Chain A
């Protein structure tokens, strides 16, 4: 699958007039039909889950930190303390309509296994991650000669939890390799705004600060 051949429709994101929710959360919420059952892996403080529940979506979460779990429980959310690498295996097949992995893939030990599990547990998966192909990253490595650090990824190489960085292009190739179908793809720029749709993939890979993908199981397995 050549990147340039992909034609991926980008749905409009309803603007959040209250400013209460993050753009990428609103984008994810737009992808999910009301009444669905959703698992948010790495749900943090439960902001996205709250947004989803406010839209009639039955949400569950997994969160690594106990403080995060506590804040979620205080919001009335159902969140289990756990880890994407070790705990997804314990969920049954087809347990959810959607499984969300937001800004966490690059921090897992086994991104490929995690991705496979997401689409075993859920009929669809929504994955977002920081794009290491973003021009600022490239520039820092090319010109500065050191591992890139950005406003959103400020950690140094020796203390970063992000051990498996990838570019949008890398991710698309992985999806192809494990027979995952991309239903929608959106690249967000540095300000969380979608990169215009009519531009070719390499532009996304260059100017997308993060990628958001709606995935489903591919047809015939390899």
Chain B
């Protein structure tokens, strides 16, 4: 493991992370023991809290709300500065005034998933029964559990039907679960780079990541917070492996090739001679600063368990029978983690259920992560789909006009930062 010595120790202290888990820099919706979250594993989880961010304004008839479901290692900080890293929101390219998810038109909500570590109840949160972090005492959660929690949040916000649910990767799984569990609450759905079930290969990669975390002596069977440590080496390795699956051979080659890192010749050691090594180590070490190791175990497990067809007698089309939701499914040519074939299988099932579905495969060499990057073709279709959904739902520019004056937007922006 000598080559991992250069994965730097986290600069954000574990106390900051722990604080964010219980007292997030986000709005929090709390649900008491009288409103438990019914988990698939049979446990009623209570009390819970859900941390969320919103952007834009909800219109008078509450018809312009869009829910963003975030991916495995992301969080609710879509379009604002991240409280731990100080970096820009992960989807600022997509969300904002004039962007495809136009905050002048839509009311946008993103909540941290249950099991996450950025303020919604998860293994890093304090277990009220012990006064200490849950750790592995936290019950196993599933994608349907995450969606059930989001539905509780929407009830709290008084939003009956969403104009759209959108998300990529694990977020896309949640989108599909939304349409399967609450079809009448979803006017349109935009699942991106995802699948209706996790493949054996995907489960295998997740197992590799989990084993890396659990092999780290600092993990202490998930009780690392009691010893004031964090299995940052194991989690960094998990992130490095995961990150490779988010890219593509072509993207890695274009970005790094076989170029050397700050040197002309190999050092004949296990130093990060190659730029790609240095890049991966950076990805690993920056990830552990903001993410909880146990949370990574729980969320990867939730993805592994996901299989919509299995919940409907093995017939995927049954999950969507009679559904009125308008779908736009998007995949990327170079995504080998959630390949186009998975999206096509979904589209076939939706067709078989007579659902109103559009599908586009975007050509790009940037791999699975393309949905987070500057891919104009993806922006175009997202914008077009949302606008047509808005039109079909009776939203027009007039309906938004009361909110578009610059003053309210500035006020809104200052409120968020």
Please determine whether chains A and B interact with each other in the same assembly: yes
Chain A residues with CB under 8 A of B363:
66
Is B384 among interface residues, defined by CB-CB distance under 8 A?
yes
- Contacts A66-B363, A73-B328; is A78 near B356 (CB within 8 Å)? yes
Is B360 among interface residues, defined by CB-CB distance under 8 A?
yes
Cβ contact within 8 Å between A73 and B388 = yes
* A/B interface sample: 23 pairs, CB < 8 A: A66-B360, A66-B361, A69-B358, A69-B359, A69-B381, A70-B377, A73-B384, A74-B387, A74-B388, A75-B388, A76-B391, A76-B392, A78-B327, A78-B356, A80-B357, A81-B359, A81-B361, A82-B359, A90-B344, A90-B348, A91-B352, A95-B351, A95-B352
Is A79 among interface residues, defined by CB-CB distance under 8 A?
yes
Q: How far is the CA of A195 from the CA of B260 in the complex (A)?
A: 71
Cβ contact within 8 Å between A77 and B358 = yes
Q: How far is the CA of A90 from the CA of B317 in the complex (A)?
A: 12
Interface residues of B (CB under 8 A from A): 326-328, 344, 347-348, 351-352, 354, 356-363, 377, 380-381, 384-385, 387-389, 391-392
Q: How far is the CA of A150 from the CA of B416 in the complex (A)?
A: 61
Q: Which residue of B lies closest to A79 (CB)?
A: B358
Chain A: how many interface residues by the 8 Å CB criterion? 20
Partner of A80, one of B326, B359, B377: B359
Q: Which residue of B lies closest to A89 (CB)?
A: B348
Cβ contact within 8 Å between B388 and A80 = no
Cβ contact within 8 Å between A78 and B361 = no
Interface residues of A (CB under 8 A from B): 37, 60, 66, 69-70, 72-82, 90-92, 95
Q: How far is the CA of A81 from the CA of B343 in the complex (A)?
A: 11
Q: Which A-B residue pairs are the 8 nearest by beta carbons?
A: A76-B388, A74-B384, A80-B359, A78-B356, A90-B348, A73-B384, A69-B360, A73-B358
Cβ contact within 8 Å between A78 and B326 = yes
Cβ contact within 8 Å between A72 and B358 = yes
A contact face: mostly helix, strand, loop, or mixed: mixed
Q: Which residue of B lies closest to A76 (CB)?
A: B388
Cβ contact within 8 Å between A66 and B362 = yes
**What's the least CB distance linking A37 to chain B, in Å?**
8
Q: How far is the CA of A131 from the CA of B361 in the complex (A)?
A: 33
Q: How far is the CA of A79 from the CA of B388 in the complex (A)?
A: 13
Chain A residues with CB under 8 A of B348:
90-91
Cβ contact within 8 Å between B354 and A95 = yes
Other than the known A73-B328, A73-B388, A80-B357, what 16 A-B pairs have Cβ atoms closer than 8 Å?
A66-B360, A66-B362, A74-B384, A74-B387, A76-B388, A76-B391, A78-B357, A78-B358, A79-B358, A80-B351, A81-B359, A81-B360, A81-B361, A90-B351, A91-B348, A91-B351
Cβ contact within 8 Å between A70 and B326 = no
Chain A residues with CB under 8 A of B347:
80
Chain A residues with CB under 8 A of B359:
69, 79-82
